[in-house]
Amino acid sequence: MVGLGGITYMSWREAQASLALLSIGGIAFFVARSAHFQRTLRERNSLLESEVLQRTEAERESRRLNQELLASNQELEAFAYSVAHDLRAPLRHVNGFALLLQKEMREKASPKALHQLEVIQSSAHRMGHLIDDLLTYSRLGRADLHKVAVPLTTLLEQVRLDLTEEEADRRVEWHIGPLPTVTGDPTLLRLALQNLISNALKFTRHRDPAILEVGGRPEGGITFYIKDNGTGFDMRYLDKLFKPFQRLHPQEDYEGTGIGLANVQRVLARHGGQAWAEGQLGQGATFFFHIPSEDPESTPPPLCDAPIQGKALPCQES
């Protein structure tokens, strides 16, 4: 390698060789890379294909499970209904014949025996109420919905009129805010309002005056609330509140079978909404419900008939 020219020449040759090598290497490299890419692509594709297959399979399985769940739920409802229905006849006989026996023995039996007959009758009477409540609860889950525009203010006034007539001798202060019109089944919604208002009146029985505040807010539908200054409840037992036949007070203090709020929850679930509550023992309680708007654009909320744990929120927020 002498002289510039030589260098140049060698360099040229070297460059040529290098270029050739480089080209070969490059091609080899690209070929290798391309093969690698193709392999990866194939692998990815087949992975994707199997994922799609798996997903389709999973979707099919989930649809099947959903259908099974629906069927077994319906079966369970039908079973509960027929059990409750069939229990009525023997119960009527217990109650009816205890009554006849009591009449028969009025002059002859001891006061103790008459008392025992009394207990049989009142227990059968109570069981009758439980069964009828169970039937109503079951019916609420199965009844067809007939949805129309329901002005809540009018519905509330009707319910209030019915319920306060029996409580004419009490002082009840009402604060009622404006309420919207909702789309729903008027019979079911009336039942929900009836339960919430009669509860509020029941648990403010020892307040003078009872103060009841009712209002609503538009929140992707409507959120309704009724607040009272009554007995309230311990938030620790919130999860029991909306379950059927769960009660937080002894029968002697506040009568009832414990189905009311479970019915409210069921009515709301049938409307794609939910009911929940806040309260403090001795400080009153507030009961809420939410009915989502019927906008076809919005995604339908999940059905939340499940028991609520802790501070429950409307379904669509969870």
- 106 lines the binding site for other proteins (CB under 8 A): no
Q: What is the closest distance, in whole angstroms, from the C-beta atom of residue 91 to other proteins in the complex?
A: 6
- Cβ of residue 115: shortest distance to other proteins, in angstroms? 17
- Whole-angstrom distance, CA of residue 252 vs CA of residue 203: 13
96 binds other proteins (CB under 8 A): yes
Q: Pick from 44, 92, 106, 115: which binds other proteins (CB under 8 A)?
A: 92
Q: Residue 101, CB half-sphere, CA atoms under 13 Å: how many?
A: 17
CB of 77 to other proteins, least distance (A): 13
| Distance, CA of 133 to CA of 252 (rounded, Å) | 19
- Does residue 88 touch other proteins according to CB under 8 A? yes
93 sits near other proteins (criterion: CB under 8 A): yes
Asked if 91 touches other proteins (CB under 8 A), the answer is yes
Residue 232 and residue 281 in contact, taking contact as beta carbons nearer than 8 Å:
yes
State the nearest-atom distance from the C-beta of 144 to other proteins, in Å.
9
Residue closer to other proteins (CB basis): 72 or 82? 82
CA dihedral 265, 270, 271, 277 (to 10 degrees): 10
Query: Of 19-48, which residues contact other proteins (CB under 8 A)?
Result: none
* Residue 220 contacts other proteins per CB under 8 A: no
Q: Are residues 117 and 102 in contact, defined by beta-carbon separation less than 8 angstroms?
A: yes
**Nearest Cα residue to 224 out of 152, 149, 305, 299:** 152
Distance of alpha carbon 318 from alpha carbon 314, whole angstroms: 7
CB of 122 to other proteins, least distance (A): 10
Interface stretch with other proteins, choices 51-59, 65-73, 91-99, 278-286 (CB under 8 A)? 91-99
Q: Which of the stretches 81-89, 228-236, 243-251, 295-303 binds other proteins when contact is defined by CB under 8 A?
A: 81-89
Query: Binder to other proteins among 83, 100, 113, 119 (CB under 8 A)?
Result: 100
Neighbour-count burial of 48, counting CB atoms closer than 10 A to its CB (0-12 exposed, 13-18 middle, 19+ buried): exposed
**Is 117 one of the binding residues for other proteins (CB under 8 A)?**
no
Among 99, 109, 235, 313, binds other proteins (CB under 8 A): 99
Do residues 283 and 232 lie in contact, with contact meaning Cβ atoms separated by under 8 Å?
A: yes
Q: Using CA atoms, how far apart are residues 271 and 191, in angstroms rounded to an integer?
A: 13
Asked if 135 touches other proteins (CB under 8 A), the answer is yes
CB 121 within 8 A of CB 96: no
Task: Name the segment binding other proteins (CB under 8 A); options: 38-46, 122-130, 163-171, 242-250.
Answer: 122-130
Residue 108, number of CB atoms within 10 A of its CB: 8
Whether 241 contacts 233, CB under 8 Å: yes
Token code pair at residue 138: 């079951």
CA 195 to the chain's CA centroid: 17
Element at 174 (helix H, strand E): strand 172-176
Q: Does residue number 131 form part of the binding site for other proteins (CB under 8 A)?
A: yes
* Closer to other proteins by Cβ: residue 17 or 83: 83
Q: Which residue's CB is nearer to other proteins, number 144 or number 165?
A: 144
- Which residues form the interface with other proteins (CB under 8 A)? 85, 88-89, 91-100, 121, 124-125, 128, 131-132, 135
